[in-house]
Chains A and B, each alone.
Chain A
Amino acid sequence: MTQETLLNIALITWLAPLASFAIIIFFHKKIPRAGDWLGTSILFGALIASIVILFEKLNYYHDQTLQSVFTWVDFGIVPGIGAMQIQLGFMIDNVAAIMLVVVCIVSSLVHLFSIGYMHGDIRYGRYFAYLGLFTFSMFGIVLANNFFVMYVSWELVGLSSYLLIGHWFEKKSASDASKKAFIVNRIGDVGMFIGILILFAAFHTFSFDTIFGAMKSGQIPFGSEAWLTAAGILIFCGAIGKSAQFPLHVWLPDAMEGPTPVSALIHAATMVAAGVYLVTRTFAMMTADALMVIAYIGAFTAFISATIALAQNDIKKVLAYSTVSQLGYMVMGLGVGAYTAGFFHLTTHAMFKAGLFLGAGSVIYMMHHALHQANDHHTDAQDIRNMGGLKAKMPITFWTFLIYTLAISGIPLTSGFLSKDEILAGTLAFGTLNGGWHWIIPTIGFFVAGLTAFYMFRLVILTFFGEHKDHNRIEAIHESPRVMTIPLIIFAILSFFIFYSINPIQASSGWFYNAVVTPESVVPSAVAPANSVIFNEALHNMHGLAMLLSLTVAGIGILIAFATYYWKRINADSVANAPVLKWLYKFFLNKWYFDEFYQATFVKGTDAIASAYRWFDNNIIDGIVNGTAKWTIGITHGVKETWEEGKIGSIFYIIVFSLFSLFIGWQVAIGILPEAASIGTKIECGLIGLISAALSFFLFYVGVGGFDNKIIDGLVNLIAYLGGFFGLITRKLQTGRVQTYLAFVLFGILVFFMWFR
């Protein structure tokens, strides 16, 4: 296939889900089955297309980047810059082609699964429409060859995520969660936006190629390496939001309010991985400092969320925190410099995590079904403490779930083993290269690997093993329908090593590692991260050790899980209630109190400032505005008539005119004071000044209007009569009518004419 054909296929693949969205959203009431078949078949078509693209790309254009651009906005000849255009477009490189396949696999299988899971939902049609919108936006992120399309798609996946989390918006918790997701993401996006501003201001383009090319030739934003680092970190802020990294990770667990297949697609496999994808895209422009920040944010996130996952009882919450933790892993991997490993883990994780969520969905679906039959509306269908013993009743769900769990725990023969190992080897390499305190990163890496194995097996044991809590309920539970189990089986198959590398313990010789090569850094060498050749060398040396260590910690984790929840050798409750651990348990159970902290500071703070501003606007600014009206009346009628107790306008009026009167008195006194005056003369002048001040204040008090009402009025009437000004000015000057003000203006025009002449 020629490049053009491939690009055209990619373009059609990109736009087809948008068409599906448009058709279903407008016509879902008219087409049969609300259009689920349309969205699903389009996605399977896209899956085939994406596999073709990947195959062609790897076989015929392995080291090429295919691009297509067009001029979106032409600024013409800009003064000081010259011709300026904004070119947008898309590209296919190996990373994009792989990511495209990943998104297509997950999205198509989730479409399929949803046909079963969402059956009979009140907004069934709209659900499929939004899935289409999401897939379109996600393709945009994958295919973008510039920051602009990336940002646009970035926000659009945010929109689809908002719409899908709030799918059951009748529930307050769902609409709250969707709002929270959008706003928290926006905070990250603003950082990314500023990063893009820096790059555009410096290079007048959004294109990755052009920007990286300019950097490589030595140009950096505003000639400063600090700005370059800042740009990198700010762009990473987008990833912090979308990939739920600390400190913006709080939205993802709440996002589990959405339908479970959505959690699998958006909040586990693809959209949340977009942040990781963004870092791979911009990896070349990251300075050593920026990467250091990325590594630590990732490690910290992985650690926090793994500890939280230990204490959760909601099946989806456990998976959500495990997702956050794994995303932290990927980000950490990229941050330490293990570029390929980070992206590799994204790919493998997408498969087994989507599977985990769909498996959880299958369980929840059946729990709902059983609870519904038992007419039980109190028991939580998602609480693992209400489950147990599902192994026999739902064998496909169980076995596939077990495979995913082995993969996420990093057990050999699974895909997770390969990718996790590479990341851990990367952290060890990072430790050896940087030394000292930086060993904390590999330490966290291995510790989290142990925690992951533990809480995942806790989940499996509590859900599937043992006895079910309610014997009547278990009778009603059976395996989910085939549209739901087939996706589970496919994801389980894709969780084995064979698809990524022939060698089950070493991925670096497989096609994936050949295709995804660490890009050359384009930043000035003084701030560049460790050379990728040196780094990969160190990584390679650490590989065996990493494997050994990770297997050990995973084994320990699994063993403790079995000892606690299966063999019951350890009593979980008494551990949780032990003196120090009790506090720690509560801390983890309450998610480190992040939500409470944000609520008390940012949310409450913003609310308070907003209310304060409203008060300021209504009382101070409008007080002054209404006050000026009062002065105008006051000047004519005097304070005597317009004074209102306690009104800011009135007080303001008095203060201003008191000062003004004093000023007049001062001016009079200075004016009549002769040079070299005696004390007596000075006192005289002072007295005259005081009298003038008092007089003028009195004037204001009784009102200028009261004083010379007749005179001015008579004069104006005379002019009006002579000039015949529409007869408007013949009215009283102080009526407060619009006409009077107009007359003032006309009078003003005359005055100005005289003044400027």
Chain B
Amino acid sequence: MAFQFLGVGWLSWITFLPIIGMIIVLILPKNARNAIKWTAVGATFLQVVLAMLIYANFNYNLGGINSQEGMQFVEKFKWIDIKGLSWVGRLQVEYFLGVDGVSVPMVILTALISFIAVFASWNIDKALKGYMAMLLLLDTGMMGVFVALDFFLFYVFWEVMLLPMYFLIGIWGGPRREYAAIKFFLYTLAGSVLMLLAMLALYFSVTVVDPATGEKLHTFNMLAMMNPENFEPGSLLAGTGTYMRILAYLALFIGFAIKVPIFPFHTWLPDAHVEAPTAISVILAGVLLKMGTYGLIRISYPMFPELAEKYALPLAILALINIVYGALCAMAQKDFKKLIAYSSVSHMGIVLLGMAALNTQGMIGAVFQMFNHGTITAMLFLIVGVLYDRAHTRDLDEFGGLALTMPKYTGIMTIAFFAALGLPGLSGFVSEAFSFLGAFKVEKLRVITIASTLGIVLTAAYMLWTLQRVFLGKVNERWASLPDVNGREMFTLVPLAIIILVLGIYPSYMLDIMTSSINNLAGIIAKGSSLISVIP
């Protein structure tokens, strides 16, 4: 098999490198602070290198999504194989990794954001060793979710992510950290339980023939679950558009919706963000939110194409609520970090709108927006972190005139703010525009798309208002001596700014990866929804 290193596939390396890092961190003595940090840097840096290698070796023409041939860098082994289990019969779980055009952007994003998050954690004082170990474990969980193609494996990674996040917020967070952590945990757990339910329902409905023995086996293989022919006739989820399928779809949807988060499941987000340390906010907004929408695209859409079509309108309505409600809530915030948190709600709404379109333009816009929101919001949270580190307050009304005392900081922040408000020439605009283009194409979503454009104005309003309150005006004597951004902070911000700029001018660097897969997905949905119209 190609793409291996020491006999182990690239995807395994990129997923488990942080675990290796974590083990080293755990072995290191507690006060070897530098060694701990540089171990984390090393592990995440190698991840970035691997992500770049994957990007460079990616074949643009393969469609991915529902065929193993279309997947790249595939690794597939039997993982768990228990025969004669009571109730279940033979239980088989595969270690099945692979990437396509939907997951590669997320893999790159995860590697990048984790790397930056390590640098953003440079000044953690409290129990650094435990912190870095948790951070690296979290990294593995995130990466695993994006490369797993076996539902069981996917679920394992999904849950692996949960615990470190809980502790990272609960131990290293702000004053209300325990409330925020438990809220995050319970919300997500509720989602996972629903996902589990749907996963098991799918497992028991789908069978494939084991090539070795010729016996029919249930499987967790996601690609098998996408093929309608694999559904056992008469099983729970057989057929199209049945009641049970709707239930399973909704269970999956709520599970993912909590992660996105979609209104009204969003209130864990502002609390978690406000309490979490900077690096964790960066990861939370940069990567974790994408798992919800990624799950919808990777799992819900191809497995339930007819329902994706059927529930496109409700999804678009939720998208509209996210966009407008999120923006208005952001406008009313006085806490800088909370404002950015709500802006995430609003921006993820655009992802949902693009997804609801179910056509190529819309879904490319959605996946691209996932990536762009990851980079832009990461920048925004880093920026808030820089300010909070110095001023120890995030109250917007207390600032003013920072442009005069911190010019570099203001410059970099201006890029991030304008990227967030969708200025052309920066990446956020392209993905927003494509999402809107896609959604507008669909007749039943047209009115909602038009209403959603209200978000464009509102975002400009609250972003510029924030900019004015913090940076413009006369110098506030209280903050006159704040130092400008230092080298380390610049090192976390500048790469993101460059990516935002480059992708804003020539998005094809990222879009070319996606097109084949998204076109394939759009085809699957179109085919699936045409089936439902045949059935009365």
Contact = CB atoms under 8 A, between A and B. Distances in A.
Interface of A: 72-81, 84, 151-153, 155-156, 159, 162, 166, 169-170, 172, 175-176, 179, 182-183, 186-187, 189-190, 193-194, 197-198, 200-201, 606-607, 609-611, 613-614, 617, 621-622, 625, 629, 738, 741, 745, 748-749, 752-754, 756-757
A73 B508 contact: yes
Contact of A169 (B163, B473, B523): B473
Most buried by B among A79, A186, A187, A194: A79
Q: Is the interface of B mostly helix, strand, loop or mixed?
A: helix
B196 A749 contact: yes
A186 B464 CA distance: 12
B227 interface: no
Contact of B437 (A81, A183, A201, A738): A201
A747 to B, nearest CB: 11
B66 to A, nearest CB: 14
A395 to B, nearest CB: 39
B201 A756 contact: yes
A80 B359 contact: yes
Q: Is the interface of A mostly helix, strand, loop or mixed?
A: helix
B189 A745 contact: yes
Given A607-B331, A757-B88, 9 more contacts: A72-B506, A74-B511, A78-B519, A170-B404, A193-B433, A625-B183, A629-B186, A738-B166, A741-B186
A756 B200 contact: yes
B328 A79 contact: no
Given A75-B515, A611-B332, A622 B200 contact: no
Most buried by B among A77, A201, A745: A201
A523 B475 CA distance: 56
A78 B424 contact: no
Interface in B241-267: 264, 266-267
A76 B517 CA distance: 10
Most buried by B among A78, A745, A754: A78
Contacts of B196: 745, 748-749, 752
A189 B197 CA distance: 46
B331 A74 contact: no
Contacts of B197: 752
B239 interface: no
A227 B423 CA distance: 27
Contact of B456 (A74, A81, A186): A186
A24 B433 CA distance: 31
Contacts of A187: 457
Given A76-B515, A80-B359, A201-B437, A606 B461 contact: yes
Contact of A198 (B359, B440, B516): B440
Contact of B440 (A73, A197, A748): A197
A193 B461 contact: no
Contact of B523 (A79, A175, A201, A607): A79
A77 B267 contact: no
Contacts of A606: 328, 331, 458, 461
A756 B333 contact: no
B468 A179 contact: yes
Contacts of A614: 329, 332-333
A170 B475 CA distance: 8
Interface string B412-435: 000000100001110001000100
Interface string B199-218: 01101100000000000000
Most buried by A among B461, B507, B526: B461
B134 to A, nearest CB: 14
A695 B447 CA distance: 51
B325 interface: yes
Contact of A73 (B266, B333, B464, B511): B511
A291 to B, nearest CB: 23
B450 interface: yes
9 contacts: A75-B364, A75-B519, A78-B522, A162-B464, A170-B474, A172-B473, A738-B185, A753-B200, A756-B201
Given A156-B425, A622-B267, A75 B360 contact: yes
B424 A621 contact: no
Given A80-B359, A625-B183, A610 B192 contact: no
Nearest to B511: A73
A166 B472 contact: yes
A78 B522 CA distance: 8
B87 interface: yes
Task: Name the 7 nearest CB pairs between A and B, nearest first.
Answer: A152-B424, A614-B332, A610-B332, A175-B472, A610-B331, A76-B515, A169-B472
Contacts of A159: 418, 423
B236 interface: yes
Contacts of A189: 456
B193 interface: yes
Interface in B498-517: 506-508, 511-512, 515-516
A198 B472 CA distance: 38
B458 A74 contact: no
Interface in B320-355: 325, 328-329, 331-333
A78 B360 CA distance: 6
Interface string B88-111: 100000000000000000000000
A67 B117 CA distance: 46
Contact of A79 (B166, B270, B460, B519): B519
A173 to B, nearest CB: 11
Contacts of B333: 614
A189 B187 CA distance: 39
A155 B424 contact: yes
Nearest to A163: B414
A166 B360 CA distance: 40
Contact of A74 (B236, B359, B437, B515): B515
Contacts of A151: 424
A183 B460 contact: yes
B522 A79 contact: yes
A757 B361 contact: no
B449 interface: yes
Contacts of B461: 183, 606
A75 B438 CA distance: 12
A258 to B, nearest CB: 14
A197 B359 contact: no
Contacts of B359: 78-80
A182 B458 CA distance: 12
B436 A748 contact: no
Contacts of B472: 166, 169-170, 175
B176 interface: no
Nearest to A189: B456
B440 A201 contact: yes
A147 to B, nearest CB: 11
A202 to B, nearest CB: 9
A72 B434 CA distance: 13
Interface string B447-484: 00110011011101100110010011111000000000
Contacts of A182: 460, 464
Contact of A610 (B264, B267, B329): B329
A187 B516 CA distance: 36
Contact of B507 (A73, A162, A745, A748): A73
A689 to B, nearest CB: 30
Contacts of B465: 179
Given A190-B456, A621-B264, A201 B516 contact: no
